[in-house]
Chain A
């Protein structure tokens, strides 16, 4: 079935007098409202946190990976530019990001810099910055921008990567088009990139949570869409993950392989660990959902580790092989169903509710008794469905109520 079928069912109840344009508008809103009342639609998402940094050498067009230095505790050990014109560095990540924090150890004495990203058209395009780092000053410097629409998770074709390096990432390149006077070096961790500024659902690929298809022969990856990305000004450890706007409530969160404990802010984290907002550790132990107009997942203590590039390891092979820690986030949540995912019984509810909304609307087709009758019918059916799921043991309780829940 489809939206067309649902609206046909609504028109049956409206004697085909419903305003088609309005019914289409009401459809989306109705799907969301009913999903809140009937919270059985779920999604499982994987958030990967892989990122890489390395040197760009203009001569030969090569990338030399220096991610280990960038992510370890050693300071001032990542070269960001050389003394040569057009050399610089590249930053890649498995999800889009919007901010990079540098800690400059050896400052430049001059230089002009070019900021570009690898676009889906297969070329480097100018990256418009909101905040431009000053490589001539030591200490913390920030590069901030809005993720471009045509930013592609691809390996740049004009860059030579190390043989064993998978370059299919979102790339930003910084080049010193006029010599910086002397090599610039920076400190290790680029926390903003590593921990919070991007997240992604692992695209279709080899390393996936696998699902079983009807045939039993083919394994489907979790196909999860793309998260929206939000700019933030939280520093120095903005360890939260923007959540998709279809999400209603989190069921559970794992920092693979371990499940995290849910904890509310006011009566949980503030009491358990007053410093939770800034605490860091190798792996987190708890999660919470930021209250407010934006849905955000926050892990605490904020992890200082990153996940494997491919996300979770393949769930195949010998028992125990999956124990290799990957530190990726797995999020299970209640969501508003997308149209292709709506079950048939739910479409029936939506059809009745859309018709009720149209009957309630001011205008020639207003019919309040019909609206009232349909509301009562939907109420009864929603209760019946909830009773069915509760009776049969499907989990309906959630750790806490999302800000969107009415």
Chain B
């Protein structure tokens, strides 16, 4: 059972060991911070993943991922409807396969990203079909104390740390301690260095 924001509020109070510290009464500030904290924790540990159908149209090379799945941050895997995987390739390597890659039609075999917004298919589909994409999603906003978290309970300790760190930054003016808590919650060794891909992969797996 996923926790509610109200339950998390109690945990944050305990974490701070001072009910007064977060002004006791849950506020919009707290809701904003816990929403943001859940997003950072979910992205850091790749906690919210979804697999969804994705319609490919004949002779349509580019798709607006942000229009189709606004909360999908990163596509991780893609397959055709028969289970054949589409392999992810860098955009700037396509020219070595076929200089007309943006127009050559055929059976889709690869996908590429144009940054955050677009998803492209190579070869360009020659017929309509339904593919399947998997990706990391941004968790939903938490708008009231009854809202339920979208990340598993196992990650609540990290969420509590990040949330209490943000509260320390904004309400208690205990800046250094606040940043340290956020770093600890997100598993960032220092404030200026990100986890290596290996570290991230290790945590995620």
Report which A residues bind B (CB closer than 8 A): 8-9, 12-13, 15, 39-44, 209-214, 216, 219-220, 222, 251-252, 254, 256-259, 261, 315-317, 319-323, 330, 332, 334, 341, 343-345, 348, 369-370, 372-374, 376-377, 379-395, 397, 399
Chain B contact residues (Cβ within 8 angstroms of A): what range? Answer: 35 or more
Please name 28 pairs of A and B residues whose Cβ atoms are closer than 8 Å in the assembled complex, sorted by A: A13-B169, A44-B62, A211-B60, A211-B63, A211-B67, A212-B55, A214-B67, A214-B68, A220-B67, A258-B100, A259-B94, A259-B100, A319-B106, A320-B105, A344-B71, A348-B36, A373-B169, A376-B191, A377-B182, A379-B192, A380-B182, A380-B190, A383-B192, A384-B43, A385-B43, A388-B200, A391-B201, A395-B91
Contact at A212–B68, with CB atoms within 8 Å?
yes
Nearest CB of A to B35, in Å: 9
Stretch touching chain A among B12-20, B115-123, B144-152 = B115-123
Contact of B112 among A43, A210, A211, A395 (CB under 8 A): A395
Please tell me if B132 contacts chain A, counting CB pairs below 8 Å.
no
Instruction: Collect the chain B residues with CB atoms within 8 Å of residue A321's CB.
Output: 59
Contact at B194–A383, with CB atoms within 8 Å?
yes
If A44-B114, A323-B103, A385-B43 touch, whether A252 touches B196 (CB-CB below 8 Å) is no
A265–B186 Cα gap in the complex (Å)? Answer: 43
Contact of B175 among A43, A369, A384, A385 (CB under 8 A): A369
Nearest CB of A to B175, in Å: 4
Q: Which residues 26-81 of B have a CB within 8 angstroms of A?
A: 29, 32-33, 36, 39-40, 43-44, 46, 55-64, 66-69, 71, 73-76
Contact at B191–A40, with CB atoms within 8 Å?
no
Of the listed residues B39, B40, B64, B113, the one surrounded by the most CB atoms of chain A closer than 10 A to its CB is B64
Instruction: Collect the chain A residues with CB atoms within 8 Å of residue B91's CB.
Output: 251-252, 332, 395
Instruction: Collect the chain A residues with CB atoms within 8 Å of residue B103's CB.
Output: 256-257, 322-323
Nearest CB of A to B200, in Å: 6
Instruction: Collect the chain A residues with CB atoms within 8 Å of residue B191's CB.
Output: 376-377, 379-380
A406–B191 Cα gap in the complex (Å)? Answer: 21
Nearest CB of B to A44, in Å: 6
Contact at B59–A319, with CB atoms within 8 Å?
yes
Please tell me if B179 contacts chain A, counting CB pairs below 8 Å.
yes
Nearest CB of B to A321, in Å: 7
Contact of B195 among A251, A322, A387 (CB under 8 A): A387
Instruction: Collect the chain B residues with CB atoms within 8 Å of residue A348's CB.
Output: 36, 39-40
A332–B60 Cα gap in the complex (Å)? Answer: 16
Instruction: Collect the chain A residues with CB atoms within 8 Å of residue B46's CB.
Output: 388
Contact at A384–B44, with CB atoms within 8 Å?
yes
Instruction: Collect the chain B residues with CB atoms within 8 Å of residue A209's CB.
Output: 61-62
Instruction: Collect the chain A residues with CB atoms within 8 Å of residue B68's CB.
Output: 212-214
Instruction: Collect the chain A residues with CB atoms within 8 Å of residue B11's CB.
Output: none
Please tell me if B108 contacts chain A, counting CB pairs below 8 Å.
no
